[in-house]
Amino acid sequence: MQQDQLQNLLALLADGDYHSGSELGELLGVSRTAVWKHLQKLAELGVELDSSRGRGYRLPGGLELLSAESINARLAKGGPPLTLEVLPLVDSTNSRLMAAADRLPVGAVCIAEQQSAGRGRRGRTWVSPFARNLYFSVLWRFDGGAAELEGLSLAVGVCIADALESLGLSGVTLKWPNDVLADNKKLAGILLEMSGDPAGACHLVVGVGINVEMSQASAAEIDQPWVDVASLAQRQGLAQISRNELCACVLTKLAALLSQYSAQGFAHWRERWMARAAFLGEPVKLLTATQETHGTFIGVDNSGALRLASATGEQLIYGGEVSLRSSS
């Protein structure tokens, strides 16, 4: 099934009403048998379908599909230009941009309804149910290599927290180096990947995954506490937050961040990160593949390095395959 056919079928079903096979076939210009095959494809993607004899097919509760047109209309005017691509299915939004980084413009954005091979830090799989969360990546170019990007993942976290708060959510915190939390549960994650000269001109892809409306069934594979935007909004008495609006809000803030980061560095963002820091002043443990270090988390420095007070004095942790956990 072609991607445009999948998008057209989903658009017809997104209203949550019943549509007969003959109606869908007529609107899509295909036979009822072809419609049935297309519906089977949707089921394989994990889309919840309801069928009723004599009434047809529907998506219970409807579905807000992501739209480049809708997101573009919500982007802040006058900001750095972004070029959006919205796909129903991709292996990984990061991988898609990295593979074509030499040919794509600065500000290229890949957004997907679902990823078949989404990735988090430390080799984790990013669970990606169809059309329920946000998965997107942004391509940028820098001339100063890795040194110019110190602390950037933390600043990206500030942008995501700012976007969520601007839409009414409260209680969002940031866990070093690149997790967004609420109620000490994971709400969003960040994955930065770089190619090119580590000391010079390079491409950077910033990948973002935000749990928006995650079902318990979809989350069965997640191996850590999690929370989603929908449940937070409900508990805080807020209306349902549009995925298109949230995506546009985060992208607006990310584009501004990336266009200014070479000049500003993390020092410009440090206090805003610290104001939301999870586990600040608390006993923590840092886990690597071979070591466990205990101490008190006392913040980050102007490069984004974690400051750990331990029995041997203050240590600075600069990243890598490190996991921060509360030990209280």
Same domain, 103 and 205: yes
Q: Into how many domains does the chain fold?
A: 3
Same domain, 29 and 81: no
Determine the pLDDT at residue 41.
82
Output phi, psi for 151, to 5 deg: 80, 0
Determine the pLDDT at residue 125.
60
Whether 121 sits among the annotated catalytic residues: the reply is yes
Across residues 23-47, what is the average pLDDT?
A: 84
Q: Is 141 annotated as a binding residue?
A: no
Where in the sequence is the domain holding 44, given as residue range(s)? Answer: 3-58
CA distance 13 to 5: 13
Same domain, 78 and 217: yes
Determine the pLDDT at residue 301.
97
Residue of 32, 41, 74, 121 with catalytic role = 121
Same domain, 174 and 300: no
Q: Is 93 annotated as a binding residue?
A: yes
Q: What is the DSSP letter of 115?
A: B
What does the pLDDT look like over 118-172, one tens digit per residue? Answer: 655 545 565 678 888 999 999 999 999 999 999 999 999 999 999 999 999 999 9
What does the pLDDT look like over 68-127, one tens digit per residue? Answer: 999 999 999 999 999 999 998 899 999 999 999 999 999 999 999 999 876 555 455 656
Same domain, 95 and 197: yes
**b/e per residue 120-142 (b: at least 16 CB within 10 A):** bbeeeebbbbbbbbbbbbbbbeb
Same domain, 212 and 287: no
Of 12, 32, 58, which residue sits at a domain end?
Answer: 58
Residue of 96, 132, 175, 186 with catalytic role = 186
CA distance 148 to 235: 40
Same domain, 238 and 101: yes
* Whether pLDDT at 1 is above 50: no
CATH no. for residue 15?
Answer: 1.10.10.10
Whether 32 sits among the annotated catalytic residues: the reply is no
CATH no. for residue 306?
Answer: 2.30.30.100
Q: Is 186 annotated as a binding residue?
A: yes
Of 273, 290, 308, which residue sits at a domain end?
Answer: 273
Q: Within a domain: residue 39?
A: yes
Q: Within a domain: residue 63?
A: no
Across residues 210-233, what is the average pLDDT?
A: 83
Determine the pLDDT at residue 118.
65
What confidence category does residue 245 fall into, taking pLDDT thresholds of 50, 70 and 90?
A: very high
Whether 276 sits among the annotated catalytic residues: the reply is no
**b/e per residue 164-181 (b: at least 16 CB within 10 A):** beebebeebbbbbbbbbb
Q: Which two tokens stand for residue 164?
A: 């969520």
Q: Within a domain: residue 263?
A: yes
Q: Within a domain: residue 74?
A: yes
Residue 127 identity (one-letter amino acid): V
CATH no. for residue 89?
Answer: 3.30.930.10
User: pTM of the entire structure?
Assistant: 0.89
Better pLDDT: 6 or 285 = 285
CA distance 166 to 250: 10
Q: Within a domain: residue 44?
A: yes
CA distance 94 to 137: 6
Q: Within a domain: residue 124?
A: yes
Same domain, 148 and 104: yes
Same domain, 254 and 134: yes
